[in-house]
Homo-oligomer: A and B are copies of this chain.
Amino acid sequence: MNDLSLLQKKRLKYKPTLPKLLIDLEKVQFRKIDSKSPLKDLENLFPNTFSLPAYELVSGQGTHKPLKIGVVFSGGTAAGGHNVICAIFDTGAKVIGFLNGPSGIVENQSREIKDVSLYRNQGGFDLIGTGRTKIETEEQFAASLKTVTEHKLDGLVIIGGDDSNTNAALLAEYFLKAGCTTKVVGIPKTIDGDLRTDEIEISFGFDSACKTYAELIGNIERDALSTKKYYHFIKLMGRSASNIVLECALATRPNLALISEEKRGLDGIIEEIVNLVIERNAAGKDYGVILIPEGLIEFVPELNEMAKELNLEKDPHGNVQVSKIQTEKMIIDLVEKELAKKNFKGKFNVQGHFFGYEGRSCMPTNFDATYCYALGTLAALCIREELTGVICSIQNLSKDPESWTLKAVPIIQLMHIETRLGKQKPVIQKALVDVNGTSFIYFAAQRKRWQIEDQYCYPGPIQYFGDPDLCDLAPQIVTDIQKPHASTSDSS
């Protein structure tokens, strides 16, 4: 076992505040609720699950039985995932972890999770690993069926994003059709914040990622203001959608934050940055901070063309790896050229940054730790009450956890049909920034003021409170390792 850092040890002791209904699991049951019908077109694809209703958790009399539950992480990491598993474990269920993502189900690679004590409120997915395999072919579905049947699983909890939850719905349908009693439950995970529907207020991991990025952006803003030397172009992870950029912009008030969903076109974007640079120069300011969503390239055909001309690395599926395209560098080049054309005499010194991996496996914030623990408990309850093809939906998240509402919503209610390569595919549409939504409108009303005035906000790492043991230590090279911060005495 690795030695844990001081903070890891402290976080192990953190107790999420639970929604009231989750305090005594024997006294809750599900009640059917009205909900929208799935799209009619989905009926062919989901004959066995098409008519299943949505449920809300309410007080009542719960059943009591020993459960065996499989869990799997799917896709990129997001802070809080371990708490989903811890919560399922804490219900008393026997927990089987499928290893390194959905391939662990297909290939029946698993291990029983007998101890979660070192994973409470910890970041990452390393308890069982994760992976990006999609369960798509008949062979893969059949193999998955074989696996859950062999394990005699009461349920399978799939912790993933839009594609993974679509997969969960397909597996639920497949299992039902085959007469298999294993229930399938989805958990909304992704730092990108693009798994948002009427039912899903936010996916877990988004909060922790944004708070990490906002810490760094704020630090860089303060550096820019102090040294007055650089324009910092900061690209943020988040796939297609600009949710992360919007959230971070609200937290840090940069001089400019590009929101792909505004669809301004390349000329519009370059013009906006060039004007910003010229206006700030006139105000005596040759520095600034600009946020760029990694998905911008998908909304700007010209950038996409330019990227194709560069010989870009592709992932195993043949897709260009969006996060590797140096969009920020391409934009910087274009801005430089345009400034030269306009005979700009000021300074335009730039630094490029990309933040992504830093925010995916951080320790979950209290919000994500709590949210995930509640999601995991809810998933176990869904399985106990024999619901399948549902996603765990917790609402009123901006209120105290005690007043959160807990629902189980058929995943197909979230679905649309898309034609991909001539084939009809059920998909959960990625939630982009809604340019008519309250958050964007608020942002749009503020941003002009942020451009020239420096209205930077420095959220910081929320780092400096609480336990003096954690905060007051001198650097290790000063203490010359007389007393290392993380003891190694009990290591393997």
Binding site for B on A (CB under 8 A): 2-8, 10-11, 14, 73, 76-77, 100, 121-126, 129-131, 193, 201-202, 206-207, 210-212, 215-216, 218-220, 222-223, 225-228, 230, 232, 243, 246-247, 250-251, 253, 351, 353, 357-363, 365-367, 369-370, 397-398, 437-439, 442, 446, 453-468, 470-486, 488, 491-492
Contacts and interface: CB of A to CB of B under 8 A. Distances in A.
A165 to B, nearest CB: 19
Given A100-B228, A223-B360, A366-B472, 5 more contacts: A7-B464, A8-B460, A369-B464, A397-B478, A398-B480
A77 B223 CA distance: 7
What is the oligomeric copy number?
Answer: 2
B458 A8 contact: yes
A439 B130 contact: no
Nearest to A354: B353
Contacts of A463: 7, 211, 363, 365, 461-463
Which of A126, A219, A460, A463 counts the most chain B CB atoms within 10 A? Answer: A463
B360 A474 contact: no
Nearest to A441: B481
A351 B362 contact: no
A482 B250 contact: no
A89 to B, nearest CB: 18
B460 A362 contact: yes
A366 B438 contact: no
Given A202-B478, A250-B476, A474-B397, A219 B362 contact: yes
Which of A219, A369, A468 counts the most chain B CB atoms within 10 A? Answer: A219
Given A124-B222, A215-B461, A477 B358 contact: no
Contact of A11 (B211, B361, B370, B460): B460
A461 B362 contact: yes
Contacts of A216: 216, 358
Contacts of A442: 481, 484
Given A216-B358, A361-B220, A10 B100 contact: no
